[in-house]
Chain A
Amino acid sequence: MWDYSDKVKDHFLHPRNARVIEDANAVGDVGSIICGDALRLMLKIDPATSVITDAAFQTYGCGSAIASSSALTEMIKGKTLDEAQKITNQDIVDYLGGLPAEKMHCSVMGREALDAAVANFHGKTYEQSHDDGELVCHCFGVGINKIRKAVWENHLTTVEEVTNYTKAGGGCGSCHQRISEIIDEVWEDLEKCGVPRPGYQPTPIGGIKIAVSTGPSAAPAAAAGQSFDDETRGAPSFGKVTEVLREIDAGLGANGSGAALSSIRGDKVAVLLKGPAAEGMMREMTRLFVAQRLSDALGSKVEVEVA
């Protein structure tokens, strides 16, 4: 996060033109405090020559937002409107010696502020002079045209890059599918203009579903609905014993182990074991564990044998 170029740090710590121009004749506001960054660009434009004689800004935002604003004002001062409007967000980035990938939207915001100020100079609002188009990202209110422009000008190829440049897709993520469709559309046009799409491979239709079991399958050790003999079913401990064994069975289940009742003869209980819990040393440990649990549950000593 602190990986800023010296130029960015310099423009953040010593911003140029961070002030109010009271008699500005072109003011552009973009961003909002809710989104975490906002920029007001103020210009004095000579109506006769269209030269930007003064430029200043006020910015609420992170270090790179303030640095991008500062850079923009330095870049456009003394230029005519036509010259200034040729500046792209990438020019701002280059002027600053680069921006971290996830901060590219700061340069885009700077470029938008210039558009907004120019619109204001011509007596229009930014909204009037710019058609946002279809609203793609509801979290950050980003329209399709802004995404198209960012992809077109910066040759973006991934949703992540689009988020870095426009914030679109940086919230709930529900528009990611739509953004990748837009990327594909823009690249169709870019390729027609002779720009090869780097490393493009069409996404195969349909996603891969990964099935992950979050718990043991409740596979009982013995066949469900197993019938017990009359003596077992008639034993006073029958209810408790089956309940405890069902619990143990569920607990054992993760690696294919299981335990179930076979029969009850007085204080002797025969159980069926399966899986690793029924093998080798585990067999005896499981038997002792079942005996302990049954004795605890019934309040009297229970002998357990593995059927």
Chain B
Amino acid sequence: MDTENLGAGLGGIYLDNNATTMIAPEVVEAMRPYLETYYGNASSQHGFGVPVGHAMERAREQVADFVGAEHPDEIIFTSCATESDNTAIWSSLWTQGQRNEIVTTAVEHPAIMNTCAFLEAHGVKVHYLRPDHQGMLDESAFAALLSDKTALASVMWANNETGNIYPVERLSSIARERGVLFHSDAVQAAGKIPLDVKATDISMLSVSGHKIHAPKGIGFLYVRRGTRFIPFMKGGHQERGRRAGTENIAYIVGLGVACEMAKAHLGEMGTRVRALRDRLQQGLLSRIPECFVTGNEQCRTPNTLNIAFKFVEGEAILLMLNEYGIAASSGSACSSESLLPSHVMQAMGVPFSAAHGTIRFSLSRYTTQEEVDRTVEVLPGIIEQLRSYSPYWKGGKPQIAGQDHDFDPDSSEVRA
């Protein structure tokens, strides 16, 4: 085995695009003049500022077109999707003083989960819709959580770990019928499946740039016209008084180009990239015993594959993959800050024993068939090797309870 770490740009295979993506070369090129030459302030009325302002409005149109917003002025540039999520939640509470409840799901990104947890500690009632074992949500259960106390219903468009796509079109109309504002964190859906907010009843939508081949540090919040809004960042009058702070012009220009390219490549995501993902899935499932796909195979973003390998631990798999220059991620406890497996796997009821061995592969339009085939080639050996070290595995088979020792993956016993 090669003990040299192969990093990005050194021939590494990057299958962690749900974490972040490479910046498209076209995006870098588009940004360059705004880093080197056009440094004016978009708010200035002189010759340094005016072209910058125009570039920003062009980007706003590109972004609006990408998500299907009716009007470019419905787009507010932010520093990231976390800021967009925070803005949506706080604004919904600030503008509707008599409403102090939030309805969301148990599988949201920490930007939503931890904001809600903070609010809960300060008197806001938060209802978490729990998913089924495939990670899917029940629409009538969602409807039942809404009331005239609900300030905001927030449901992600797609899940980062499983790729599950949620029916936000229908959920948003249910919310609208009940007079409830609807927000969606669309970070993991953007660039993977078509978004058309004007055809939905979504009032606010968060997207991040760095998941669609723009740089980190830029995102946006879509706010439908007529939605009552109070800015999260207070200060100057930028973004029509809805987000203070001098606009990050180079990054905004980059985001605009990234959105235009993402829209142009949607077809490819749904065909070529989907086929590669399916090839990866088939290749791994057919060569590796005792593993299964988590999430809903019929309703996933086309780039995402989450597999649980039983009787092996995720961080160990990642470490070995890294030795081959292959980058992926894991829902295991050992690869996170916490000592528990990912909250998404827990919410779906994936047993801890399997959740510790989950690996997420997330492809991009830059992923090649050679990279997928290389992964299919090396991973079976890695799993076999790690299982050969495992006390739960003997002679190519799982070693279940009651034999010589009391190891039982299905046991509810917790020992440390």
Expressed in whole angstroms, the Cα–Cα distance for A57 and B406 within the complex equals 16
Asked if residues B313 and A32 are in contact (CB atoms below 8 Å), the reply is: no
For residue A9, CB closer than 8 A to chain B, the reply is yes
**Contacting A250 at CB < 8 Å: which of B97, B390, B414?**
B97
Asked if residues B339 and A60 are in contact (CB atoms below 8 Å), the reply is: no
For residue A78, CB closer than 8 A to chain B, the reply is no
Expressed in whole angstroms, the Cα–Cα distance for A13 and B340 within the complex equals 25
For residue A214, CB closer than 8 A to chain B, the reply is yes
> How far apart are B180's CB and chain A's nearest CB, in angstroms?
15
Contact (A58, B391) CB under 8 Å given A36-B341, A37-B334, A254-B230: yes
Measured between beta carbons, the chain B residues less than 8 angstroms from A39 are 391
Contact (A13, B97) CB under 8 Å given A58-B390, A62-B315: no
For residue B356, CB closer than 8 A to chain A, the reply is yes
Asked if residues B335 and A253 are in contact (CB atoms below 8 Å), the reply is: no
Total residues of chain A contacting the partner, CB 8 A: 54
For residue A223, CB closer than 8 A to chain B, the reply is no
Asked if residues B388 and A18 are in contact (CB atoms below 8 Å), the reply is: yes
Asked if residues B353 and A214 are in contact (CB atoms below 8 Å), the reply is: no
Expressed in whole angstroms, the Cα–Cα distance for A137 and B392 within the complex equals 25
For residue A29, CB closer than 8 A to chain B, the reply is yes
For residue A212, CB closer than 8 A to chain B, the reply is yes
Contact (A170, B340) CB under 8 Å given A2-B319, A37-B334: yes
Expressed in whole angstroms, the Cα–Cα distance for A218 and B123 within the complex equals 15
Interface string of B278-318 (1 = CB under 8 A from A): 00000000000000000000000000000000011111100
For residue A141, CB closer than 8 A to chain B, the reply is yes
Interface string of B395-416 (1 = CB under 8 A from A): 0000000000111110111111
Asked if residues B389 and A66 are in contact (CB atoms below 8 Å), the reply is: yes
For residue B122, CB closer than 8 A to chain A, the reply is yes
Measured between beta carbons, the chain B residues less than 8 angstroms from A57 are 389
For residue A121, CB closer than 8 A to chain B, the reply is no
For residue B144, CB closer than 8 A to chain A, the reply is no
Q: Which segment, of B88-96, B157-165, B196-204, B363-371, faces chain A?
A: B88-96
| 24 sampled A-B residue pairs with Cβ under 8 A | A1-B315, A2-B5, A12-B319, A27-B405, A32-B407, A33-B311, A58-B389, A58-B391, A60-B311, A60-B312, A60-B313, A60-B389, A62-B313, A63-B316, A65-B316, A65-B334, A141-B415, A167-B416, A170-B338, A215-B96, A215-B124, A251-B97, A251-B228, A253-B97
Given contacts A62-B332, A250-B98, 15 further A-B contacts (CB under 8 A): A13-B320, A29-B391, A29-B406, A33-B409, A34-B352, A35-B416, A36-B313, A37-B334, A60-B311, A61-B334, A62-B314, A65-B313, A214-B93, A215-B97, A250-B97
What 6 A-B pairs are tightest by C-beta distance, nearest first? Answer: A170-B339, A62-B334, A62-B315, A58-B391, A40-B391, A140-B416
